Amino acid sequence: MLILAGIECMGQARWQSTHLNESVALSFGTSAAAMSLGEAYYKVKTSQPRTQRGLAHLTHLYQPSSQIRLLADALQVSGPVHIIANACASGSNAIGNAFHLIKSGRARLAITGGYDALSQLVFAGFDSLQALSTTLPRPFASDRDGLALGEGAAVLTLERLEDARARGASILGEITGYGSSTDLHHLTQPHPEGLAAIQSMTAACHEANWSPGQVDYINAHGTGTPLNDSSEGAAICHWAGDAVSQMRVSSTKGGTGHLLGGAGAVEAVICLMALQGGWIPPNVPIQNPDPICQFDLVQTPTDSPLCRILSNSFGFGGANATLAFQHPDLEPA
């Protein structure tokens, strides 16, 4: 999945051979990565304790660093590698890290994103926490009963806006802000008022130099679990203040499922497509929104020119990340 996404991304970016000769920072997020390979290793080791045949290969491929090296070799790039494992915020944290590497001038080019594949351990883990929906995931519905797990990967190329313009690149969007914070409330439960979410949204908008009233749309973390959506809803309401009733919000996880370490990256791609296409990705339709939704929960496909988008990603361990995306035709922030 990661390599396929990477090849598609590089085809779209149209980097020239001169780019490939430069150092390219690789910043990726994953949570469970290739856990299924670890599971296969465990099963062999416990059923045939003396066996070693084939295990070196599994051990090698299980390592996230090997996965990124395979991607780098497939894309014929090399450079410093950062693999961030901040649970379900990993993809957004990795993109935010790459953004700061470019913005600070520490890197001129970056390939970034997130990925995760389903595995028995992860599925049973979320089930043990009673976080999985037994019906359908319905983010922000008052009768929501949990999330649906998914798997996937997304890859982005980042470069300085002036460099992209100079080479006549087709620019899909500008990252203008990144906020990250840590929720101290509980290892797996967010603070009921979403204090860390407020902090990450505020930090992203501070860096982008945006006020809440300028944000056209928020792609919420919106897992569909009772605790996440009430906490995130409260955070959006508090953060948006007087602008809350005009704030258009949706979660795309009702359609994609929760892609864990890949979620933030795939949702970043959804945000870029929305910026390009001028539409708002809808929430799955729900009958009764949670009363916490004082914002405009978008439930039908809606055409609308978009200039500024926030994307939230929150994870176990209290990892919170918010990315700010801006339409490339807007003046740089």
Partner 1 sequence: MSHRLHIAGWGAVSPAGWTSSDLFNAVLDQRALPTSLDLRHPDAPPIPCRRVPPLASPPIWLRQPRLRRSSPITRFAVSAALEALQTFNQPEASTTSLGVLFAVQNGSVNYSSRFFAEVLANPGLASPILFPETVFNAPSSHISSLLASPSLNNTLVSDAGGFITALEMAAHWLDDDQVTDCLIISAEEYDWLSAESLALVPGPKIASEGAAALWLRRTEKPSPNDILLEQITEAATITNQQSRSTAIQKMHLDLEAPNHATLISAESGHPTWDRPHSETFASRAGPRFTLQSQFGHGFSILGGWQCALACELLQRGVCHNAVVAADTGANQAQAAWFSRPSH
Cβ nearer to partner 1, comparing 104 with 287:
104
CA distance 185 to 298: 29
CB of 182 to partner 1, least distance (A): 4
Tell me the angle at which helices 195-208 and 226-240 cross, rounded to the nearest 10 degrees.
40
Question: Which one of the listed residues 9, 19, 205, 221 is annotated catalytic?
Answer: 221
Which residue, 107 or 274, has its beta carbon nearer to partner 1? 107
Annotated active-site residue 185? The verdict is no
Backbone φ, ψ for residue 200 (5° rounding): -70, -40
221 belongs to the catalytic site: yes
Q: Which candidate in 9, 19, 88, 327 is catalytic?
A: 88
Contact assessment for residue 151 and residue 1, using Cβ atoms and an 8 Å cutoff: yes
| Cβ closest to partner 1, residue 31 vs residue 157 | 31
Q: Which residues contact 151 (CB under 8 A, 6 or more apart)?
A: 1, 116, 117, 118, 257, 259, 260, 262
Helix (H, G, I), strand (E, B) or coil at 117: coil
Tell me how far, at minimum, the Cβ of 22 lies from partner 1, in Å.
Answer: 13
Report CA Rg, the chain. 20
Strands in 248-250's sheet, in edge-to-edge order, are 174-182, 319-326, 308-315, 217-219, 248-250, 296-297
Smallest separation (angstroms) from partner 1 to the CB of 316 = 5
CA distance 109 to 205: 24
Q: Which residues bind partner 1 (CB under 8 A)?
A: 23, 30-31, 33, 38-39, 41-43, 45-46, 49-50, 52, 55-56, 59-60, 63-66, 69, 72-73, 78-87, 93, 97, 100-101, 104, 106, 120-121, 124-130, 180-184, 187-188, 195-196, 199, 315-319
Q: How far is the CB of 44 from partner 1 (least distance, A)?
A: 11
Cα–Cα dist 59/76, whole Å: 24
Q: How many C-alpha atoms does 142 have within 13 Å on its Cβ side?
A: 8
What letter would DSSP give residue 188? S
Q: Could you tell me the smallest distance in angstroms from the CB atom of residue 168 to partner 1?
A: 28
Q: Which helix (H) or strand (E) segment is 122 a member of? A: helix 120-128
Give the residue with the Cβ less far from partner 1, 231 or 252: 231
Q: How many CA atoms lie within 13 A of 259 on its CB side?
A: 28
Judged by CB, which is closer to partner 1: 7, or 307? Answer: 7
191 is catalytic: no
Quote the CA–CA distance of 8 and 272 in Å, as a whole number.
Answer: 15
Q: What are phi and psi of 43, to 5 degrees?
A: -65, -40
54 token code pair:
């084939």
Q: How far is the CB of 250 from partner 1 (least distance, A)?
A: 27
Q: Which is nearer to partner 1, 18 or 300 (CB)?
A: 18
Given 258, 271, 293, 327, the catalytic residue: 258
Residues designated catalytic: 88, 221, 258
